[in-house]
Chain A
Amino acid sequence: MAEKANEAAGGVESRWYRTLGSRIWYFLNSLKLTLFILISLAATSIIGTVIEQNQPVEKYIEAYGEQWTGFIFYAGLHDMYHALWFVALLAMLSVNIVVCTFERFPPKWKSLLEHKNDKFDPRLIEKFSHHETVRVKEGADAVRAKLEDLLKKRKWGVESTVGTGKEFFIYAWRGRMGRLGSDFTHISLLVILLGAIIGSYYGFKDYTAVTEGRTISVPQADFKLRLDKFWIDYYDTGQIKQYNSLLTVIDGGKEVLQKQIWVNEPLFYKGIRFYQSSYGQSWNKLAEAEIALKVKSKDSVGDPVKVKWDTLEKVPGSKYSVKLVGYTGDFAYDETSNTVFSKSAEANNPAINVEVYDGEKLVSTPWLFMKYPGIFPAIPDSDIDIVYIGHKGLWYSGISINKDPGTNVVWVGTAIMGFGFILAFFVYHRRVWIYIKEDGGSTEVKIGGTINKNQLVFERDIRELTDSIATDAQSRGRR
């Protein structure tokens, strides 16, 4: 009722908003818009591959100058694929898909269901771009049986009706599902975009470096992770084969899972994945250091002694014991805060901090430098010095942490897309109309039809049909 009232109100002259509405609808429904969006997406995506993405501002200024950097940030080109206008293009594509599907699917579906037409005008057959007329000596019944057998053998749907006298109408079809391929493909794109949206709202990405033996709390989760060991496998030629980490999940204070991960083999626990992504030697901790006693007056260095981290070790040939309490890979000293720190993660200037004991008594806590032995005496007022010869480093493993609840939605989308592709590209909707009429001593057969794609295949179909009845080349009509 309401609709009727509306119609009446609209009258002969459409209201301006109706005209505008239908214009917008027409615009959103057009294939030219699709082409415009697709080509725009292709063209603009190039920008993001040329301008490096998500770099610090200084890098852009260095590469493009201040003015261009201003423009890059204004247009969002530094994070282009998340820029408003790019997302708007994707949204526009989605709207285009929705409108096109809404507009085209229902009538298509209806015509696919109600496609049979028992009696048709035989003259229309000759209007098809694929058609053929053949005259054969056999009777109409025999011809009809032959054609129907062939069509059924080739898995066509066949519907035939008898006309007046010796006259038959055959309608055959195959591959109606092929028409739905584009719809499945279009819907799959929406599903994939939905998955991407879910991922960007409810997922997260993080990175952490864990040294061997340490336990970390996993961000946005209620469990912990411990790195038991990190190691590298090599090929016989010395090239690196694989990076490995042995991880233990600690949930509720209990060790629930231990797994060795490597590049291409993550750990998955409670919806979060842990990936091997980098590695290195720790810059503030060692497994053990190697030291030796030096007698200054004789300038002689004794046998090396291994000292473990935080463990008191007796130095043979002396009254001293040594404990390793600190390490820094690239020694630097901050005077204001009076602290030692590492300038970089590399072992450019390694230094160890040791506590030297005479029995129970702490004598000194010197820093010893590997590259500059003896610049600070280890033990004050003594002929004995301690030198730092080498160490066994402690590995840390760089682990990427990732949670993306949209992933499965994306996979569902790609599965639908695969199905859509099979229908769209490899299932052809073919329809054939055949008219058979016996008059006098011979039978006239008109065959014609349509295919939604791959015309070359269809020519062969028609040829096969005519060949099945007209074995005599002479009797073939024009093509």
Chain B
Amino acid sequence: MILSLVFFTFSFIFYILTTAAYAGYWVFKKKWLGQMGTALAFVALGSTTMILISRAGESGHAPFSNLWESMVLFIWATNVGYLLMEYRHKFKAIGAVVMGIESLAMLSASLLPFRYKSVEPLNPALQNKWKWMMDILSTWGLEKYAIGWLDFHVFTTFVGYAAFAISFGLSLLFLWKFRSEARGIGSKLVDAIPDSKVLDEMSYRAIAWGFPFLAVGIVSGAIWANYAWGSYWGWDPKETWSLITWFIYAAYLHARVTRGWRGKRAAYLSIIGFLAVIFLYWGVSFILPGLHAYA
């Protein structure tokens, strides 16, 4: 029995319940449903954290080395990002959308063949630890807990992905709200979400986090590649697609300050950007051969 897979099953159930609670709050506007949604989101976060911790214990390294582990990291980061956003802006209706994305991510991770979920030791290409950190930790005999470029690179990239996932959800809501505002037709559901201006702003804030994090992910990957493969950039499909994604979000940031492009077109760019993230993450791993094929 692999403990991390047990926690995974529990987390899956929690995410579905969280989504249901937020959706219930959105439809019925009962305060207790909203509070329940937030509470369940915390429970789901705790459970996801336990997947990562137990997997680290099982594999003996940070749990960022295969597709399933990275999915759990993505789900974890999206949850943290969402809860921070809810704490700052107090809009709970958005929770139904973000937690819906989380549940879908859980579903797709659970459907992965077992070879993507199994506990594996690190292959030679992934073994990298920061020497300075090992030196410091060795004072207490803890050097095996040192992290390296692999961990830093994967973590920062996935924080970026998580932020993009949130902005994707917000952009969808924006387009919906924007249409209803433009036509002057409201409905019970669309009235419960914030103004399109606020949604646009929040979507931008999410990208304002995701964009530099993706950049740090790309750059740390380049530093590591320069160290491990011999050059900082090799036009490997994963690298190229990360750059494509980065270009799209760069276009989004410029669109927001360009007349005729702000609002709707920018929102479309944010949606296209997240579709590119999905391809960068799953499509490249399964379809295009390259050095990143293992995750």
Let me know if B235 and A81 touch, CB within 8 A: yes
A62 CB, min distance to chain B CBs, angstroms? 16
Let me know if A49 and B247 touch, CB within 8 A: no
Q: How many of B's residues come within 8 Å of A, CB to CB?
A: 52
Let me know if A456 and B198 touch, CB within 8 A: yes
Let me know if B216 and A264 touch, CB within 8 A: no
Interface residues of A in 264-282 (CB under 8 A from B): 264, 266, 273, 275, 277
Complex: how many Å from CA A196 to CA B222?
13
Chain B residues near A242 (CB-CB < 8 A) = 124, 127
Let me know if B240 and A45 touch, CB within 8 A: yes
0/1 per residue, B220-240, Cβ < 8 Å to A? Answer: 001100111111110101001
Let me know if B229 and A48 touch, CB within 8 A: no
A241's contact among B124, B241, B248, by CB below 8 Å, is which? Answer: B124
Chain B residues near A275 (CB-CB < 8 A) = 228-230
Chain B residues near A418 (CB-CB < 8 A) = 212, 215-216, 219
Chain A residues near B125 (CB-CB < 8 A) = 263-264
Let me know if A240 and B231 touch, CB within 8 A: no
A454's contact among B127, B201, B243, by CB below 8 Å, is which? Answer: B201
Please tell me if B284 contacts chain A, counting CB pairs below 8 Å.
Answer: yes
Chain B residues near A48 (CB-CB < 8 A) = 235, 240
Let me know if A38 and B250 touch, CB within 8 A: yes
Let me know if A404 and B124 touch, CB within 8 A: no
Please tell me if B244 contacts chain A, counting CB pairs below 8 Å.
Answer: yes
Chain B residues near A421 (CB-CB < 8 A) = 211-212, 215
Chain B residues near A9 (CB-CB < 8 A) = none
B245 CB, min distance to chain A CBs, angstroms? 8
Chain A residues near B235 (CB-CB < 8 A) = 48, 53, 81
Q: Which of B251, B257, B284 has the most chain A CB within a 10 Å cutoff?
A: B251
Let me know if A273 and B228 touch, CB within 8 A: no
B116 CB, min distance to chain A CBs, angstroms? 17
B124's contact among A52, A240, A266, A407, by CB below 8 Å, is which? Answer: A240
Let me know if A239 and B121 touch, CB within 8 A: yes
Let me know if A39 and B124 touch, CB within 8 A: no
B5 CB, min distance to chain A CBs, angstroms? 19
Which of A27-35, A132-140, A213-221, A330-338 lines the interface with chain B? A27-35
Chain B residues near A31 (CB-CB < 8 A) = 254, 257-258
Chain A residues near B229 (CB-CB < 8 A) = 275, 400
Please tell me if A349 contacts chain B, counting CB pairs below 8 Å.
Answer: no
Complex: how many Å from CA A263 to CA B127?
8
Q: Given A241-B124, A456-B89, does the pair A35, B258 have CB atoms closer than 8 Å?
A: yes
Q: Given A31-B258, A241-B124, A456-B198, does the pair A42, B251 have CB atoms closer than 8 Å?
A: yes
Please tell me if A414 contacts chain B, counting CB pairs below 8 Å.
Answer: yes
Let me know if A241 and B215 touch, CB within 8 A: no
Please tell me if A230 contacts chain B, counting CB pairs below 8 Å.
Answer: no
Tell me whether chain B's interface is mostly helix, strand or loop, or mixed.
helix
Complex: how many Å from CA A25 to CA B211?
29
Let me know if B205 and A45 touch, CB within 8 A: no
Interface residues of B in 248-294 (CB under 8 A from A): 248, 250-251, 254-255, 257-258, 261, 276, 284, 288-289
Q: Which of A32, A48, A49 has the most chain B CB within a 10 Å cutoff?
A: A49
B202's contact among A42, A235, A404, A456, by CB below 8 Å, is which? Answer: A456
B230's contact among A196, A240, A273, A453, by CB below 8 Å, is which? Answer: A273
Complex: how many Å from CA A275 to CA B237?
22
Please tell me if A352 contacts chain B, counting CB pairs below 8 Å.
Answer: no
A271 CB, min distance to chain B CBs, angstroms? 13
Please tell me if A425 contacts chain B, counting CB pairs below 8 Å.
Answer: yes
A211 CB, min distance to chain B CBs, angstroms? 21
A205's contact among B121, B209, B211, B230, by CB below 8 Å, is which? Answer: B230
Let me know if B226 and A35 touch, CB within 8 A: no
Complex: how many Å from CA A32 to CA B258?
7
Q: Given A31-B254, A35-B255, A425-B212, does the pair A49, B230 have CB atoms closer than 8 Å?
A: no
Q: Given A38-B254, A402-B231, does the pair A46, B121 have CB atoms closer than 8 Å?
A: no
Nearest residue, chain A, Cβ from B224:
A264
Complex: how many Å from CA A242 to CA B212?
33
Please tell me if B208 contacts chain A, counting CB pairs below 8 Å.
Answer: yes
Please tell me if B110 contacts chain A, counting CB pairs below 8 Å.
Answer: no
Interface residues of B in 4-53 (CB under 8 A from A): none
Let me know if A243 and B124 touch, CB within 8 A: yes
Let me know if B227 and A266 touch, CB within 8 A: yes
Please tell me if A2 contacts chain B, counting CB pairs below 8 Å.
Answer: no
B36 CB, min distance to chain A CBs, angstroms? 26
Please tell me if B180 contacts chain A, counting CB pairs below 8 Å.
Answer: no
Let me know if A277 and B230 touch, CB within 8 A: yes
Let me know if B232 and A407 touch, CB within 8 A: yes
Chain A residues near B201 (CB-CB < 8 A) = 454-456
Let me know if B241 and A49 touch, CB within 8 A: yes
Chain A residues near B139 (CB-CB < 8 A) = none
Q: Which of A35, A48, A53, A402 has the most chain B CB within a 10 Å cutoff?
A: A35
Nearest residue, chain A, Cβ from B238:
A49
Chain A residues near B66 (CB-CB < 8 A) = none
B228's contact among A41, A196, A264, by CB below 8 Å, is which? Answer: A264
0/1 per residue, A13-51, Cβ < 8 Å to B? Answer: 000000000000000000110110011011001101110
Nearest residue, chain B, Cβ from A456:
B201
Complex: how many Å from CA A153 to CA B281?
45
Complex: how many Å from CA A50 to CA B241?
11
B40 CB, min distance to chain A CBs, angstroms? 26
Let me know if A262 and B212 touch, CB within 8 A: no
Let me know if A414 and B219 touch, CB within 8 A: yes
Let me know if B244 and A45 touch, CB within 8 A: yes
Complex: how many Å from CA A421 to CA B218?
14
B244's contact among A35, A46, A241, A453, by CB below 8 Å, is which? Answer: A46
Please tell me if A474 contacts chain B, counting CB pairs below 8 Å.
Answer: no
Please tell me if A368 contacts chain B, counting CB pairs below 8 Å.
Answer: no
Please tell me if B54 contacts chain A, counting CB pairs below 8 Å.
Answer: no
Please tell me if A417 contacts chain B, counting CB pairs below 8 Å.
Answer: yes
Please tell me if A324 contacts chain B, counting CB pairs below 8 Å.
Answer: no
Let me know if A417 and B233 touch, CB within 8 A: no
Q: Given A38-B247, A42-B247, does the pair A49, B232 have CB atoms closer than 8 Å?
A: no
With A31-B258, A241-B124, A241-B127 already in contact, 16 other A-B pairs whose C-beta atoms are closer than 8 Å:
A34-B254, A35-B255, A38-B247, A41-B244, A41-B247, A81-B235, A241-B121, A243-B124, A262-B127, A263-B125, A266-B227, A407-B232, A410-B232, A422-B212, A425-B208, A454-B205
16 A-B pairs whose Cβ atoms sit less than 8 Å apart in the complex: A34-B254, A35-B251, A35-B254, A38-B251, A41-B244, A48-B235, A48-B240, A81-B235, A241-B121, A241-B124, A264-B228, A407-B232, A410-B222, A418-B219, A425-B208, A456-B205
Closest 6 CB pairs of A and B: A42-B247, A38-B251, A421-B212, A263-B124, A402-B230, A49-B237
